[in-house]
Amino acid sequence: MNYFDAVVLGIVEGLTEFLPISSTGHLTIAEKALGLDLADPAVTAYTAVIQMGAIAAVVVYFFGDITRIAKAWALGLVKPEYRGQRDHRMGWYVIVGSIPVGLVGFLARDLIRGELRSLWFVAGGLIVWSGVMWFAERVARQDRAERDLGMRDAIFVGLFQCFSLVAGVSRSGATISAGLLRGLDRVTATKLSFYLSIPALVAAGLFSLKDLSGSTISVGHVAVGTTVSFLVAYAAIAWLLRFVAHHSIGWFVPYRLALGFGLVALLATGTMSAT
């Protein structure tokens, strides 16, 4: 890996982490195009580590909301009068909603880093989940706002987040679709998706740091990729929140399908190898 690769991957990560088009899928394609070894654990770890730049962007963008939620949650542990407050409940929603992907991600870590990195899975995830996103928009009532969130919503969205462990599905695509299926409006579903990304991606990044030790990927490469992903992700978050306030996530489906079927064509003709 060189610094050009680090910048390119940082841009791809920051741009695609929160858009429902699959950051892992795009990063895998980008790594292949750059000539990096998809089977190298250090390359896989690098993509997980630079995700923390995107998460830092979420924390900065929603800093006021996050600190308010964290404070209310902590106070609610010792002061009963805080336990009925929406912010205290939101803290629990994020914690409980993050458990499924943490358990599945840990137990299936070898599969996720191995067979599921195949570009065939990326293509399949892009195509198949496009149907789920389309269906979620078709049946979405959007008659429930953030004040209507409950623990069942958090668990349902958290379970759907597990599908994003398959490259090509998209973590945001999975969680926003789940929120819509629960009747949440798009902005609420998107904000919940952002909140749930924090524990999941921080844990994945920290767990992957060990795989960079002793590799040719330097601290400088990680710093550049993480910084670039932070800057690009911050802009992507601001844009996406404005977009979903007035537009369906179905707008991303044609792009996903075109990329997925294009990838199938390249793989089927031998123009590109799957690993």
Span 8-13, average pLDDT: 96
**pLDDT for res 117:** 80
| pLDDT digits 0-9 by tens, 33-80 | 999 988 888 998 999 999 999 999 999 999 999 999 999 999 999 999
Does residue 233 contact residue 54 with C-beta atoms inside 8 Å?
Answer: yes
CA 199, chain centre distance (Å): 11
- Domain coordinates in residue numbering, the chain: 3-268
CB atoms within 10 A of CB 203: 16
**pLDDT for res 272:** 86
Q: Give phi and psi for 182, each to the nearest 5.
A: -90, 0
- pLDDT of residue 84 exceeding 90, the answer is no
Query: pTM to 2 decimals?
Result: 0.92
d(CA 83, CA 63): 21
**pLDDT for res 95:** 96
Question: Mean pLDDT, the chain, as a whole number?
Answer: 93
> Confidence band (pLDDT; 50, 70, 90) for 86?
very high
